[in-house]
Amino acid sequence: MKRRQARNTKMQAVALTALLFSLATVVLAEDGYRLWLRYEPLPSGARPTIAAIVAAGDSPTAKAVRDELVAGCSGLLGRTIAVAERVEQDGTIVVGTPKSSPLIAGLKLPLTTLGNEGFVIRSAKLNGRSVIAIAANTEVGALYGAFHFLRLLQAQQPIFPLNISQKPRLQLRMLNHWDNLDGSIERGYAGRSLWNWSELPDKVDPRLRDYARANASLGINATALNNVNANAKSLNAEYLRKTAAIAAVFRPYGMRVFLSARFSAPMELGGLKTADPLNAEVAAWWKQKADEIYALIPDFGGFLVKANSEGQPGPRTYNRDHVDGANMLAAAVAPHNGIVIWRAFVYDMKDGYDRAAAAYDNLQPFDGKFAANVLLQVKNGPIDFQPREPFHPLFGGMPKTQLMPELQITQEYLGFSNHLAFLAPMWREFLDADTFAKGKGSTVTKIADGSLYNQKLTGIAGVANTGSDRNWNGHHFAQANWYAFGRLAWNPDLSSKQLADEWVRATFTNDPKAVRTLTRLLLESHEAVVDYMTPLGLHHIMWAGHHYGPAPWWDKERRDDWNPTYYHRADEKGLGFDRTKTGSNSVSQYFPAVRDRFADLRTCPENLLVWFHHVPWDHRLKSGRIFWDELALHYQRGVDWVRTARKDWDALSGVIDAGRHEAVARKLAIQERDAAHWRDACLLYFQTFSKRPLPSGVEKPQKTLDEYKAKSLSW
């Protein structure tokens, strides 16, 4: 009797906790803080029968699994779902590992091939009762399974019967934070850094747990805490203790921390006279530093390194090469199973060179020479996170080297946190790109997931867009890019439509009409931004420094390749960078099937036309229009889309909560203003070369070219 009373008391306590959580979420204002984990009640007709939760284990991760299922199921079903000690009713969820749960062990589910992060969700029978089993080899795997189950509920997917078996396609799924030690964020548009270094390690912001939980819900398992333009202080004893405090919060959610390492740290912290990677004292310093870090943080991931790029020190400072630098650091962390992520964003300014070719020229000759625990992190395109780029030629070009894509979630070149730009279609375009490295079907995805070249260590990184703003990302719709990145990192084959639908339902509403409208706006948004910023293959024509507004006329930077004029090369004949044999010939870095397609003006995709060609103003396109008219109409089309999007959003008043509806409406108003500014400024400038009138359907500019040149757009 006493045992039953104790069990009932425990169940009542858990039920009360769940109820209080549900009530709290109801009264909280919709400010975006809960992201896609709102767990608002489903429509009454879409609520399946879930009786209770049996969750084994008492570790921090097991507690996180239990808490998530209680909160999620209670919220979505509109009633308290309690924790039970045994299966007594149909519709019970049983979650755990074979080691932690005799019930899971007894089911003998197929977990052998799922590794440490995979999971099974299966309808089963236990004690004559119908149950839903969420099983994994590890508690972190069970946590991922729990989040996936809740995602099915949110999306109103059928959960009877279930037979799901998943594991991540990529091993390292990480966010790169460009956060500085002073709390600022380079290319951050959502407030200050989440890491309050001045208070750590004694005080840890509870928000860090919410950050880790949000990442775990997507399967993101790593984060680099500091800017790739690193400060050596991040590796001193004081800051390592602070990093250890963050790592302790992240650990129950399956996240490892990485640090961006400044290559010259042995000089700045260790007092050495050199940072030459072949110097024995330098190598010893890094080994000692690695030992120090792992003593504090046993699951430390390793180092992320930006070297010999944009003024950062590196091995070439000492007449060594990138392999020398990367492998020296790799040797330091190898005894601890650590990883070195070496960024491929390197380019040397010299007369007549093409920046788009620089990374390939610098690194491809070293194919096969990097250590086994080195990942070469390569941006999706060969320039720098532009609204549209062709895939980077290093993908496929280094078959003996472990590559990982680097995507940018924060919208440095896509309107910051002011513009609605859902990036899943852009990433889908990149991942689906066929490199022809081993014939047709050699997609970037197959290179990234290791299947094309049997790559042993795989990963993908996204430059984070999170900050201290209450809604995390500055723009409510920017949350969708964090979400999409995480889901694609787990499964790079997911469609943009599925990701948009999932996110809308979890974040905003299950109203069918609203879901259709919002999903459509998300899927159309990236192409619209490209239209009013950089159509037909234009790139890097942003205002210098901040990259927010247009400045195709800008030519004042000390390096030619930091000037927009370097990239578009407008003249009276036409527009665009000739990268064929008659120009830089960087197109030759691609495999023949791709090279030949890009190099021929007749077969080059029109959305990359001026990336590869200097296109005559009167060149006839597939539409039948001349190039100048097509360019102008693309700019107008982008502006028109934003106007229509504003009307579509306004029509959702009353369906979307008032707070977020008003906030997004304000952002869309800014986006319309900016889109018109982009259109007018660019067309007026390019018109000075084309000498042609604007075609019918394109609005007259609101200001003069001199007025646009005089002042940048404000964000």
How far apart CA 132 and CA 148 sit, in angstroms, is 13
How far apart CA 650 and CA 467 sit, in angstroms, is 27
Beta strands in 419-516 (DSSP E): 459-463
Phi, psi of 166 (to 5 degrees): -140, 150
Residue 384: active-site member: yes
How far apart CA 249 and CA 255 sit, in angstroms, is 9
Secondary structure, 3-state, 355-388 = HHHHHHHHHHHHCCCCCCCEEEEEECCCCCCCCC
The contacts found for 36-39 with CB under 8 angstroms, 24 or more apart, are: 36/154, 36/214, 36/217, 36/479, 36/483, 36/502, 36/503, 36/506, 36/507, 37/72, 37/213, 37/214, 37/217, 37/506, 38/75, 38/506, 38/507, 39/71, 39/72, 39/74, 39/75, 39/76, 39/150, 39/154
Phi, psi of 218 (to 5 degrees): -105, -10
Instruction: Identify whether 161 is preceded by a cis peptide bond (ω within 30 of 0).
Output: yes
| Crossing angle between the packed helical segments 658-690 and 512-533, to the nearest 10 degrees | 30
- Could you tell me which of 254, 252, 256, 301 has the C-alpha nearest to residue 117? 254
Residue 412: active-site member: yes
Give start and end residues of each alpha helix (H) in 563-704: 564-568, 592-599, 609-612, 627-650, 658-690
Exposed, middle or buried, 511 (CB in 10 Å: 0-12/13-18/19+)? middle
The contacts found for 594-599 with CB under 8 angstroms, 24 or more apart, are: 594/434, 594/435, 594/436, 598/390
Measured at the CA of 340, the angle between CA 258 and CA 323, to 5 degrees, comes to: 155
- Could you tell me which of 458, 391, 415, 369 has the C-alpha nearest to residue 608? 391
- Could you tell me which of 678, 681, 388 has the C-alpha nearest to residue 536? 388
- Could you tell me which of 90, 155, 95 has the C-alpha nearest to residue 126? 90
Measured at the CA of 335, the angle between CA 308 and CA 296, to 5 degrees, comes to: 85
- Tokens matching residue 207: 């928000």
How far apart CA 382 and CA 405 sit, in angstroms, is 12
- Could you tell me which of 179, 210, 212 has the C-alpha nearest to residue 196? 179
Of 117, 139, 179, 412, which one is the catalytic site residue? 412
Supply the DSSP symbol for 196.
-
Q: How many CA atoms lie within 13 A of 630 on its CB side?
A: 21
How many residues are given for the chain?
A: 715
Query: How many other C-beta atoms can be found within 10 angstroms of the C-beta atom of residue 433?
Result: 20
Q: Say if residues 72 and 153 touch (Cβ distance below 8 Å).
A: yes
Q: Say if residues 232 and 262 touch (Cβ distance below 8 Å).
A: yes
Beta strands in 543-597 (DSSP E): 574-575
Give start and end residues of each alpha helix (H) in 251-320: 265-268, 280-296
Of 182, 238, 310, 432, which one is the catalytic site residue? 310
Which residues sit opposite 224 in a β-bridge? 176, 258
Indicate the SS3 state at residue 436. Answer: coil
Q: Say if residues 359 and 507 touch (Cβ distance below 8 Å).
A: no
Q: Residues near 710 by Cβ (< 8 Å), separated by ≥ 6?
A: none
First vs last C-alpha separation in the chain: 66
How far apart CA 640 and CA 652 sit, in angstroms, is 19
Q: Say if residues 110 and 52 touch (Cβ distance below 8 Å).
A: no
Measured at the CA of 177, the angle between CA 175 and CA 182, to 5 degrees, comes to: 160
Of 292, 361, 367, 384, which one is the catalytic site residue? 384
Residues labelled as active-site residues: 310, 384, 412
